[in-house]
A and B are shown apart, each in its own frame.
Chain A
Amino acid sequence: GAGVSQTPSNKVTEKGKYVELRCDPISGHTALYWYRQSLGQGPEFLIYFQGTGAADDSGLPNDRFFAVRPEGSVSTLKIQRTERGDSAVYLCASSLLAVSYNEQFFGPGTRLTVL
């Protein structure tokens, strides 16, 4: 079956602009996660959804970042007033359940470049 998909694969924007990054999880997966991966680093947790609700958004760096998952499937990460420091690869993952041993399946990521 299809894996986690993310669009766009690349996004170049100018400082101060608004961007939306989309994640399509594996069908039937109730848990969805967003991570940010800077060059040469491991992914950093941003937010986790269980169903439609954000169960933990403690990793969002500031209030310019927001994510939604209105129907419990597709999720959108929204970044307002982008800054150069927001440049990174944004990874989405999903898992069947949000329990410790459930494997998280990752999408290929969206590479965001803020000029």
Chain B
Amino acid sequence: QQQVKQSPQSLIVQKGGIPIINCAYENTAFDYFPWYQQFPGKGPALLIAIRPDVSEKKEGRFTISFNKSAKQFSLHIMDSQPGDSATYFCAARSNYQLIWGAGTKLIIKP
């Protein structure tokens, strides 16, 4: 019940395309859903986050869509660029503890 399932494991998209990464959870106690971006050799950095009372949040080229009834949320990257190539993690938080997905390695081809 504590798991967060993330897919796909890897994704290759042409520059300008819209990669979509999906996550699903079971625990209804989760009340905060962040997405992190991680470059090789670096720690994860918060990209964008959403609370479950909102169905969509947009920040720049990044959008989270949240479906509370389905217990699913997804990250969309508009107008993707080669610099967006990184590993993306979804997470879910209850109080202070973050439960993470397994990550999606995204490659944006020039």
Contact = CB atoms under 8 A, between A and B. Distances in A.
Contact of A42 (B31, B51, B91): B91
Contacts, number: 63
A101 B32 contact: yes
A99 B96 contact: yes
A62 interface: no
B9 to A, nearest CB: 8
A93 B98 CA distance: 11
Given A41-B102, A42-B100, A42-B101, A103 B95 contact: no
The main secondary structure of chain B at its interface with chain A is strand
Interface stretch (B38-46, B63-71, B72-80): B38-46
For this complex, into which size category does the number of interface residues on chain A fall?
20 to 34
Nearest to B90: A42
Interface stretch (A12-20, A71-79, A104-112): A104-112
Interface of B: 4, 6, 31-32, 34, 36, 41-46, 49, 51, 89, 91, 93-103
Interface of A: 4, 31, 33, 35, 40-45, 48, 55-56, 91, 93, 95, 98-101, 103-109
